[in-house]
Each structure stands twice: as structure tokens, then as C-alpha cells.
């Protein structure tokens, strides 16, 4: 049987679309993406680049040309007591929230991954705070933790008057109180990430480990937790980055006080820009904060990905 090729496609010849047709095919996607790219460039890229330049000037927000001051803003950042306290508080908040939130989120996920009858209701209750805006959370807990608030009232009603405190007015208690509020709000999100990770743990591995005589703790330690390392990477990365940029809850609950007890770099950056009008110095703080976030996130990602086990 003989096969006849069409005249438009002779044997042995590859038909290539004309250049104009290829160009038109590429132009359509570019035209569709162009508005989003333009918006991103104007809203994100340009302010980021401008802020990086203003960090080396004494810009006060006026239209006059700012003076270049070199590294003076960064030198002041390292020598200023509020800025140094804010840097220390930011790192303390990042470490505490990342560690505690990860441990509690994992524990909740393991507990609610079982066939508990009320697991869906409990999952919803634990995740609900993560859906509320941080400002609302800040105002809510500011009211709860005031000297005449519900917490001290409940302690007094229970006969524990000795435990009542000025939770946000005491410099030794304000920062732990803020950290506790952040953990309370965001642990539900960590729990959901781990619940999603538990869905990917192969049941065959757990069954094989059980057949080999591994107990519940051994299966958790040698099978479940190693398989959850990708979820741990995601959860800890989101927590670390979010805690380093923390602003809303701190500003609403304490405003950075008492003294410098709860100052964070984001709060100092806001005050220097919009209260003191020192936009150049504020941009320097933002640049330092960006580098800290990038460096710590990179180290954390590289460290955890090295030990990840893919199912």
C-alpha cells in the first residue's frame, strides 16, 4: 500500500512556522502579563530600589534633594539604644515563636490526625485565630491583659490574687506576653501545615515499622517526623519571616513600651519615618531588616532541606 503525502508537506522536509506567526504567538502572552508586570514594578520594585538608595541619605520626606551621608545611618543604628534593643527583641521573638509554635503545632496535628470524633471542630477552633487580622488580635489581648482586664479578674475570682500582674506595663512581662499572643494566634496555621504533611506519610511505611516491632514512639521518631521535614521547612520559614517583620500586635498592644521592652525593628522603623520624619534613617533600618530576614531564612532553608526525606 502506497502513502501519498500532501503537496504542502513534501517527504523529508520539516515545516517551520513563519517568524511572524511565532512573534504573534509570543506577543499575546506578553500583552496579557504586561499590566501585572507594570503594576509590580511601580508598587514593589521602584519603592524597593528607592528605599535602598534613601538609606544612604538624610532624606526627611521633603521634595528637596537629600544629602548623601554614606554609612552614618547604619552607624547610628548600631549605636542607638532603641535600635539595639529592637534588634535584640526581634531576634528573641523570632526564635521563641519559631520553636514553640512549631512544637505545639506538631503536637496538635498529631493529636487531631487521629479518628477523634470531634477532630474537625477542634481543628476549626485552633485555626480560627489565624483568620483574624493582627490588629484585632492586638486590641483583644490588650483588653484581656490590662490590670482590670478579664485575666486578672479570673485570677482574683479563683483566689489567686498573688498572680495578678500588670502584664503589659511590666518591662519583664511585656515581651513574653506579646510572644504568647503571637503563638496563640499563629499556631493553628502551623497545625494545618503539619496536618497536610501527615496526609503524605505513606501508611505502608508505618505498617512495615509496626510489623518489625517498632512502638508508637519509634514510629513517630524514625518514620513520621523525618517524613514531615518538608512541612517543617514550610512552617518554620513562614513563622520566622513573619516574626522578624512583626509590627501590628506590638504597636497595638504596647507601642514598643514600656521603655524599649517590646520595641522591634519594624516599630522603630515606623516611628522614625512617620513620627520623627527621618525617612533616610528609617530606610536604613528597613534595609538591615531585609538583609536579616534574607540571611536567616536562607540559612534555615538550607539547613532543613539537607535532611528532608521525600515520600
- The pLDDT tens digits for 111-139 are 998 878 888 899 999 999 999 999 999 99
Average pLDDT, the chain: 86
Mean pLDDT of 63-77: 87
Mean pLDDT of 208-221: 82
**Band of pLDDT at residue 202, cut at 50, 70 and 90:** confident
Mean pLDDT of 246-268: 92
Mean pLDDT of 248-254: 93
- Residue 211 C-alpha cell reads as 510489623
- Residue 163 C-alpha cell reads as 498572680
User: Closest Cα to residue 309, out of 205, 169, 180?
Assistant: 205
- Residue 84 C-alpha cell reads as 539595639
The whole-number pLDDT of residue 222 equals 81
The whole-number pLDDT of residue 182 equals 96
pLDDT higher than threshold 60 for residue 4? no
Mean pLDDT of 237-253: 92
**Band of pLDDT at residue 309, cut at 50, 70 and 90:** low
271-294 burial by CB neighbour count: b if 16+ within 10 A, else e?
bbbeeeebbbbbbbbbbbbbebbe
Q: Tens of pLDDT along 82-107?
A: 889 999 999 999 999 999 999 999 99
Give domain limits for the chain. Answer: 92-263
User: CB burial class (10 A; 0-12, 13-18, 19+) of residue 235?
Assistant: buried
Of 11-15, 19-23, 235-239, 264-268, the poorest mean pLDDT is in 11-15
Mean pLDDT of 179-202: 93
DSSP codes of every residue in 91-151: HHHHHHHHHHHHHHHHHHHHHHTS--TTHHHHHHHHHHHHHS-HHHHHHHHHHHTSTTSHH
Class of domain 92-263: mainly alpha
Return the percentage of the chain with pLDDT > 90, whole number: 53
**Band of pLDDT at residue 236, cut at 50, 70 and 90:** very high
| Kind and range of the H or E run holding 51 | helix 46-54
Task: Tell the residue number behind the cell numbers 519571616, with chain if given.
Answer: 241
Mean pLDDT of 292-303: 86
The whole-number pLDDT of residue 117 equals 82
> Is 21 or 175 the better-scoring residue by pLDDT?
175
Q: Tens of pLDDT along 152-165?
A: 999 999 988 888 99
pLDDT higher than threshold 70 for residue 24? no
**Band of pLDDT at residue 285, cut at 50, 70 and 90:** very high
Residue 177: half-sphere exposure toward Cβ, Cα within 13 Å: 29
Amino acid at each position: 500500500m502506497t502513502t501519498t503525502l500532501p503537496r504542502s508537506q513534501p517527504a523529508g522536509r520539516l515545516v517551520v512556522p513563519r517568524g511572524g506567526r511565532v512573534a504573534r504567538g509570543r506577543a499575546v502572552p506578553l500583552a496579557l502579563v504586561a499590566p501585572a508586570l507594570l503594576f509590580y514594578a511601580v508598587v514593589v520594585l521602584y519603592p524597593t530600589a528607592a528605599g535602598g538608595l534613601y538609606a544612604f541619605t538624610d532624606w526627611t520626606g521633603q521634595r528637596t534633594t537629600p544629602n548623601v551621608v554614606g554609612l552614618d545611618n547604619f552607624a547610628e543604628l548600631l549605636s542607638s539604644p532603641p535600635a539595639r534593643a529592637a534588634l535584640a527583641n526581634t531576634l528573641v521573638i523570632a526564635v521563641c515563636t519559631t520553636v514553640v509554635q512549631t512544637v505545639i503545632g506538631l503536637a496538635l496535628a498529631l493529636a487531631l490526625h487521629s479518628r477523634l470524633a470531634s477532630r474537625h471542630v477542634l481543628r476549626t477552633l485552633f485555626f480560627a485565630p489565624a483568620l483574624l487580622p493582627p490588629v484585632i488580635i492586638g486590641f483583644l489581648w490588650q483588653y484581656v491583659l490590662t490590670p482590670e482586664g478579664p485575666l486578672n479578674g479570673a485570677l482574683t475570682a479563683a483566689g489567686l490574687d498573688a498572680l495578678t500582674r500588670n502584664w503589659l506595663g511590666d518591662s519583664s512581662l511585656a515581651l513574653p506576653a506579646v510572644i504568647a499572643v503571637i503563638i496563640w494566634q499563629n499556631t493553628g496555621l502551623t497545625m494545618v501545615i503539619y496536618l497536610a504533611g501527615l496526609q503524605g506519610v505513606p501508611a505502608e511505611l508505618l505498617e512495615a515499622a509496626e510489623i518489625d516491632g517498632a512502638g508508637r514512639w519509634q514510629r513517630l521518631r524514625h518514620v513520621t517526623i523525618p517524613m514531615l521535614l518538608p512541612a517543617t521547612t514550610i512552617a518554620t520559614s513562614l513563622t520566622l519571616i513573619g516574626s522578624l517583620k512583626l509590627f501590628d500586635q506590638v504597636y497595638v498592644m504596647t507601642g514598643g513600651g514600656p521603655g524599649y521592652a517590646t520595641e522591634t525593628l519594624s516599630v522603630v522603623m515606623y516611628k522614625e519615618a512617620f513620627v520623627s520624619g527621618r525617612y533616610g534613617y528609617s530606610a536604613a533600618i528597613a534595609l538591615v531588616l531585609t538583609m536579616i530576614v534574607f540571611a536567616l531564612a536562607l540559612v534555615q532553608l538550607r539547613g532543613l532541606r539537607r535532611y528532608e526525606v521525600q515520600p
